[in-house]
Amino acid sequence: MSCGCNEDPIQYPCDFPIKIMGEKRDDFAQTMTDVIRLHDPLFDATTLGMRLSSQGNYLSLTATVKATSREQLDNLYRALSSHPMVKIVL
């Protein structure tokens, strides 16, 4: 009998928003788009939300990916989190 503890609450496939924050650089959005497309080849960069911090030092991106599995999301989070340009991934 399963307790349901290991069941993923996300129903795949689905649109899944990911917030990525890093220092403001001209190539930040394009670099993050390239990383995302390794895990979601059909990611549409025109849907990428961007917001500059109040002092203009940091850029926050919101990328909505087509999540197909927990493994895909885990791999994407690892790739983004370990990227040297990234400060935080939520």
Q: For residue 9, is it within any domain?
A: no
Q: What is the pLDDT of residue 8?
A: 78
Residue range of the domain that includes 45: 14-89
Number of domains in the chain: 1
For the stretch 12-71, pLDDT in tens is 999 999 999 999 999 999 999 999 999 999 999 999 999 999 999 999 999 999 999 999
Q: For residue 67, is it within any domain?
A: yes
49 forms beta bridges with: 62
Q: For residue 8, is it within any domain?
A: no
Kindly report the length of the chain. 90
Q: For residue 2, is it within any domain?
A: no
Query: Is the model's pTM score more than 0.85?
Result: yes
Give the separation between CA 81 and CA 79, rounded to whole angstroms. 6
Domain of residue 43, CATH code: 3.30.70.260
